[in-house]
């Protein structure tokens, strides 16, 4: 029987976190790095990844590799995995965190906005997961964690979320997660998703400040998520001890979707 340290320890593993240099991505990167995983911080903004990588490497004493990727561009996804395999020789964990949104009234929602969101959130996540799974299948081990949202489960008044493509993409992520969990179980790859509610980040600060009075009544805990309240969720799904947990969409939302 493994002890608790062994069940949670990620020492020597390699974790790719897309969008891992800022916001919720950085929070999850720290969670994995603090458990011992070596990291790949991948995003479109390479300079931001380099700055975050230097900081995390210094603070955590792990190896952190900054990389550039635009998940809706196939060539950059392929190049990312080539560079990661050259640098580390393995991929144990993927956190599919890159995402996009587009706000517009649903009756007037532009098709180019729809395509950008779907290409990033759904197609990009699928491509990243497939490339990771090809490596993980050869290792007979892997953890894939997709990012869904409370928006996957509920409709939203326009004054809170007038982002129909985002809602559709996150519902699709939940379905993709369950299907891949079944298909890839034979390779000892778990596929799960986290469905965050509203967290305070630089990206959401303006929206939350403007709409706080409207949003809080929808949240049973009457508050937004904290700066460290996604860490245990991602660590649980990435840990060696969660091997019998697959196809799960884990809500971290203060009780919003429980209503």
Query: Is 88 labeled as catalytic in the residue annotation?
Result: no
The pTM assigned to this predicted structure is: 0.96
Tell me what pLDDT residue 55 has.
97
Assess if CATH 3.30.70.1150 describes domain 11-253.
no
Q: Where are the domains of the chain?
A: 11-253
Catalytic residue among 30, 81, 88, 166: 166
Q: What is the mean pLDDT of each successive set of 10 residues along the chain, which is 259 residues long?
A: 95 97 96 98 97 97 98 97 98 96 95 97 98 98 97 88 94 98 98 95 77 90 95 98 98 95
Spell out where 13-129 has E strands: 14-18, 38-43, 64-68, 93-96
CB 94, CB 124: distance < 8 Å: no
> Residue 83: is it exposed, middle or buried by C-beta count within 10 angstroms (0-12/13-18/19+)?
middle
Dihedral-angle region of residue 163 (phi above 0 means left; psi in -120 to 50 means alpha; beta otherwise): beta
């Amino acid at each position: 029987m493994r002890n608790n340290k062994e069940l949670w320890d990620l020492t020597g593993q390699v974790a790719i976190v897309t969008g891992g240099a800022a916001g919720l991505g950085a929070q999850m990167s720290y969670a994995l790095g603090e458990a011992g995983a070596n990291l790949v911080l991948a995003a479109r903004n390479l300079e931001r990844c380099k700055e975050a990588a230097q900081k995390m490497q210094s603070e955590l004493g792990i190896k952190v590799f900054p990389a550039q990727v635009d998940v809706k561009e196939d060539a950059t996804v392929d190049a990312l995995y080539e560079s990661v395999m050259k640098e580390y020789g393995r991929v144990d964990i993927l956190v599919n965190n890159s995402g996009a949104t587009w706000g517009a009234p649903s009756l007037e929602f532009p098709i180019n906005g729809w395509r950008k969101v779907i290409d990033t959130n759904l197609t990009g996540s699928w491509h990243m997961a497939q490339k990771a799974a090809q490596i993980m299948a050869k290792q007979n081990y892997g953890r894939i964690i997709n990012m869904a949202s409370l928006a996957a489960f509920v409709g939203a008044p326009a004054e809170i979320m007038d982002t129909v493509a985002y809602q559709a993409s996150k519902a699709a992520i939940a379905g993709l997660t369950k299907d891949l969990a079944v298909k890839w179980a034979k390779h000892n790859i778990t596929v799960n998703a986290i469905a965050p509610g509203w967290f305070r980040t630089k990206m959401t600060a303006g929206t939350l400040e403007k709409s706080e009075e409207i949003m809080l009544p929808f949240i049973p805990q009457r508050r937004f998520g904290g700066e460290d309240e996604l860490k245990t969720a991602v660590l649980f799904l990435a840990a060696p001890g969660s091997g019998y947990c697959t196809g799960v969409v884990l809500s971290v939302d203060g009780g919003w979707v429980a209503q």
